[in-house]
Chains A and B, each alone.
Chain A
Amino acid sequence: AQKVTQAQTEISVVEKEDVTLDCVYETRDTTYYLFWYKQPPSGELVFLIRRNSFDEQNEISGRYSWNFQKSTSSFNFTITASQVVDSAVYFCALSEDQGDSNYQLIWGAGTKLIIKP
């Protein structure tokens, strides 16, 4: 069965520290997609990245980077030189083709990131 595990319920770091949020997934499919979303205290859900299962290249976007490793079924997210504005709940999610339009995005429970000034 598909599953997404974000084992870190809450992480607290001091501003400017680097922090990594872990995401481990389970799937039987060879074709799947992984996502990260950010939910700041204001409550909206902001899309950060989408990665398909055939692209294992790491991605960097400014202070954000993602490490996708199929061998360990992980899609970890690192924030470099964290800032107070990075404080949010971060969700990892998995999607795969379930056929017949039976579509569902599988969500992790989220990691609450607190950046202290």
Chain B
Amino acid sequence: NAGVTQTPKFRVLKTGQSMTLLCAQDMNHEYMYWYRQDPGMGLRLIHYSVGEGTTAKGEVPDGYNVSRLKKQNFLLGLESAAPSQTSVYFCASSRQGYQETQYFGPGTRLLVL
């Protein structure tokens, strides 16, 4: 089992460019999440999904969109990148809801110039 994987590992964007981050899990988990982590801070939830075809906003959703077309994949899109979106992005998955452990991918480091 690969667990949770993220693509790419590192990316540099110019302001205004768009990109998609891909998260994949092979644990048959229902719930998936996208977080961002800024230096010296904990994690903040961007969007999450409680099942295939569903998405919901987290704490800091502005500037991001997500899609969950397949159960195993959760995509995070930046339509027009801004320097404030420079961060490390983590994807996570869990079997069900709040009572379950979230398992994290290795992270994607994004730099927006």
Contacts and interface: CB of A to CB of B under 8 A. Distances in A.
B88 A43 contact: yes
A30 interface: no
B45 A104 contact: yes
B27 to A, nearest CB: 13
Specify the main secondary structure of chain A where it touches its partner. Answer: loop
B38 to A, nearest CB: 11
Given A44-B104, A45-B104, A101-B50, A91 B98 contact: no
Interface residues of A, number: 23
Interface stretch (A69-77, A78-86, A92-100): A92-100
B97 A103 contact: yes
A109 B97 contact: no
A47 B41 contact: no
The contact size tier of chain B is 20 to 34
A43 B6 CA distance: 13
Contact of A96 (B98, B101, B102): B98
A105 interface: yes
A103 B88 contact: no
Nearest to B51: A101
Contacts of A52: 99
Interface string A18-46: 00000000000000010101000001110
B98 A97 contact: yes
Contact of B42 (A35, A50, A108): A108
Nearest to B97: A103
B104 A105 contact: no
Contacts of A66: none
A97 B98 CA distance: 6
Given A103-B97, A107-B43, A109-B40, 9 more contacts: A35-B101, A45-B43, A45-B90, A52-B99, A101-B50, A103-B50, A104-B58, A105-B45, A108-B42
